[in-house]
A and B are shown apart, each in its own frame.
Chain A
Amino acid sequence: MSTIRDEDLTRLLDEAASSYDVPEHGPAEVLAALADQPARPPVVRRRWVQLSAAAVVITAGAVFVATQYGGNDAVNMKTTTAQRADGGADRFTSLGGGDQSYAPLDTQSESVATLSMGTAAGGTSGTRGALPPIAQTTAQVPVTAAVGAPAADEGDSRVVKSGSIALVVKDKRVSPTLTAVQQAARAEGGYIASSSSDEYGETPSGEVTIRVPVAKFENLVAKVRGLDAKVRTASTSGRDVTAAYSDLESQLRTLKATRERFLLILSKTKTISEILTVQQRVDTVSGQIDKIEGQRTLLANQSDLSTLTVSVSEEGDPVVKATTKPRSGIAEAFHNAVDGFVTGVEAIISHSGRALLWLLCLGVVAVVMRSGWRVARRRMV
């Protein structure tokens, strides 16, 4: 086999290459072109610096996670209070998640909140507005609300508030009460998100959902409770989303900076494959930005406007009766007996069709067997 030696190839190529004169101005033009380019800070490549930076980032992340999810449920606040329409003896308050931590909606940034577990001391007890304002409560419960909110002062805090109130009114008072609720909402700068009413039949009822600025939520609740109606049930909840909102904003800033860098790189790419690759990255980052912006907008909307649902029903409403009329022990036993009897009769009736079918089948089988037996006995004889 024939071939060319390495040294000959090297010599031949050197010869071919030497036929091209190296431009003396070449390096100078490179330097000149470089001078025309915008300065770019060099990236530190020292390994120990990179490791230190990584350690700092990991530590900061760990601290953030620990403060964010460190077993503190105080940022999730929920108060549910139910009260009988006829006087309010059976009142209970449930704390969000069963945790002892609790924060009133309007004092969440304080370190100590007060909570009433008994009868209200204020003047709102009784048949109307029996629930005391949350801020007027008396039991001392330590609170660590908003611990996880990074660098968010009082003015920057964002809380998603919502609540529902069920009112019971006298006959023919459903519609005026709903109107009064809507007027109160508008007076507080809110608007009616939805409303519905059932005015057919003997027990009309209605419901209205209100969006009101967070700052006016408590005022609206107080106004609704002050209407000429009994409060059957009431619940309010608040969720501090300051940390989540700040997190979304920081993610947005980072992604936008990333996209800017990719766009800068895109403007300097030369090959089609580079362009496609960078463009794909840009598209991916843009999609992430859109998604997070949507989440942030939703969170901002939820934390800007609170939601209050007010339902109104008459005293004669079967639902109201069923949930508000207490029974004594004997009445409860009698009621259970009646229920049991009715249930038994219903069960017999419901199963009678199937039982009848079985009886018919058995009768047919018996007739057939008896006929067969007679024929067989006659032949044997």
Chain B
Amino acid sequence: MDDLDDWLKRDYAKAYRTACLVLRNADDAEDAVQEAFLRVWRFRDAIPDGAGRTAWLYRVVVNACISSVRASASRTGRDDGADALEGLPDNAPEPAVRAEQSHLAATIEAAMAELPDHLRVPLILRFYAGLSEKEIATAIDRRPGTVKSRLYDARQRLALDPRLAAWVHTDEVLEASR
């Protein structure tokens, strides 16, 4: 990472929207991503080369999101405990904002809001940020097995949500489609 400008052009949008999905608040997400990129730049020499770089970036982004959550929790006098992923605030988009979103986006956001955060964050990193399970493990500082288990639970819970019934397929259908 020799040029922060290139890094920003390439990854800012993805990182920002990941933070939005995690925090469900655009302003907090912008602050968190800015802090994340500043941290990345500050410790740029410690960033591994190659494939690990992306995982490292999202680890910083997730940590910045956790810091943002803790900061807001301390402002409101709330303690989130050791695992901040368990305590992300339920700040779903305001109705006015939601009205501007597409119906599909609003539906998936509503369904995602029902998920506990320790399941939602790996899901976002896997299916939006495109990280592998190993990279997610690095990003959230958990073992790959834990990530796999959480992703499975998240998918099962989403499949049970009636709002997403249109996207749910049985195993037989999946087998047939393959």
A interface residues with partner B (beta carbon < 8 Å): 1-6, 8-10, 12-23, 26-27, 29-31, 33-34, 37, 40, 42-45, 268, 270-272
Min CB distance B52 to A, Å, is 14
Q: How many Cβ-Cβ contacts under 8 Å join chain A to chain B? A: 128
A4 touches B169 (CB 8 A): yes
Q: What are the 8 closest A-B residue pairs judged by CB atoms, nearest first?
A: A27-B8, A19-B101, A17-B17, A19-B105, A43-B45, A13-B128, A20-B20, A12-B108
* Among A5, A12, A16, A30, contact of B8 (Cβ-Cβ < 8 Å): A30
Min CB distance A150 to B, Å, is 32
* Among A2, A15, A22, A272, contact of B102 (Cβ-Cβ < 8 Å): A15
A4 touches B8 (CB 8 A): no
B30 touches A1 (CB 8 A): no
Question: Inside 8 A of B168's CB, which chain A residues have their CB?
Answer: 2-4
The answer to whether the Cβ of B75 comes within 8 Å of any Cβ in the partner chain is no
Interface residues of B in 140-159 (CB under 8 A from A): 155-156, 158-159
Min CB distance A144 to B, Å, is 45
A22 touches B109 (CB 8 A): no
Residue of A with least CB distance to B45: A43
Task: Give me 6 other A-B pairs in contact (C-beta within 8 A), A16-B112, A270-B35, A271-B67 excluded.
Answer: A22-B16, A26-B16, A27-B12, A31-B4, A37-B42, A45-B45
Min CB distance B28 to A, Å, is 12
Question: Inside 8 A of A31's CB, which chain B residues have their CB?
Answer: 4-5, 8
* Among B5, B63, B156, contact of A3 (Cβ-Cβ < 8 Å): B156
With A9-B123, A26-B33, A26-B34 known as contacts, the answer to whether A15 contacts B104 (CB < 8 A) is yes
The answer to whether the Cβ of B136 comes within 8 Å of any Cβ in the partner chain is no
B45 touches A42 (CB 8 A): yes
What are 6 A-B interface contacts by the 8 Å CB criterion? Answer: A2-B168, A3-B156, A3-B174, A26-B33, A26-B34, A33-B34
A271 touches B108 (CB 8 A): no
* Interface size class of chain B, counting residues whose CB lies under 8 Å from the partner chain: 35 or more
The answer to whether the Cβ of B21 comes within 8 Å of any Cβ in the partner chain is yes
The answer to whether the Cβ of B29 comes within 8 Å of any Cβ in the partner chain is yes
Q: Chain B: interface secondary structure? A: helix
With A1-B170, A5-B174 known as contacts, the answer to whether A20 contacts B38 (CB < 8 A) is no
Min CB distance A243 to B, Å, is 35
Question: Inside 8 A of A18's CB, which chain B residues have their CB?
Answer: 17, 105
B interface residues with partner A (beta carbon < 8 Å): 4-5, 8-9, 12-13, 16-18, 20-21, 26, 29-30, 33-35, 37-38, 41-42, 44-46, 63-64, 66-67, 70-71, 100-102, 104-106, 108-109, 112, 123-124, 127-128, 155-156, 158-160, 164, 167-171, 174, 177
B9 touches A10 (CB 8 A): no
Min CB distance B24 to A, Å, is 9
Q: How far is the CA of A252 from the CA of B18 in the complex (A)?
A: 46
Residue of A with least CB distance to B164: A4
Question: Inside 8 A of A5's CB, which chain B residues have their CB?
Answer: 167, 169, 174, 177
Question: Inside 8 A of B13's CB, which chain A residues have their CB?
Answer: 22
Q: How far is the CA of A30 from the CA of B16 in the complex (A)?
A: 12
With A5-B174, A42-B44 known as contacts, the answer to whether A30 contacts B37 (CB < 8 A) is yes
Question: Inside 8 A of A10's CB, which chain B residues have their CB?
Answer: 127-128
* Among B9, B45, B127, B158, contact of A27 (Cβ-Cβ < 8 Å): B9
Q: How far is the CA of A23 from the CA of B13 in the complex (A)?
A: 8
With A3-B174, A26-B12, A34-B41 known as contacts, the answer to whether A16 contacts B105 (CB < 8 A) is yes
B169 touches A29 (CB 8 A): no
Question: Inside 8 A of A45's CB, which chain B residues have their CB?
Answer: 45
Q: How far is the CA of A14 from the CA of B129 in the complex (A)?
A: 9
Question: Inside 8 A of B171's CB, which chain A residues have their CB?
Answer: 1-3
Q: How far is the CA of A13 from the CA of B45 in the complex (A)?
A: 32
Question: Inside 8 A of A40's CB, which chain B residues have their CB?
Answer: 42
Q: How far is the CA of A20 from the CA of B104 in the complex (A)?
A: 13
Instruction: Indicate the member of A6, A13, A272 with the most B CB atoms within 10 Å.
Output: A13
Min CB distance A172 to B, Å, is 80
A19 touches B102 (CB 8 A): yes
Question: Inside 8 A of B124's CB, which chain A residues have their CB?
Answer: 13
Q: How far is the CA of A18 from the CA of B29 in the complex (A)?
A: 14
With A5-B169, A12-B167 known as contacts, the answer to whether A20 contacts B29 (CB < 8 A) is yes
A23 touches B155 (CB 8 A): no
Min CB distance A117 to B, Å, is 64
Q: How far is the CA of A34 from the CA of B128 in the complex (A)?
A: 28
A30 touches B38 (CB 8 A): yes
Residue of A with least CB distance to B70: A271
Min CB distance B27 to A, Å, is 10
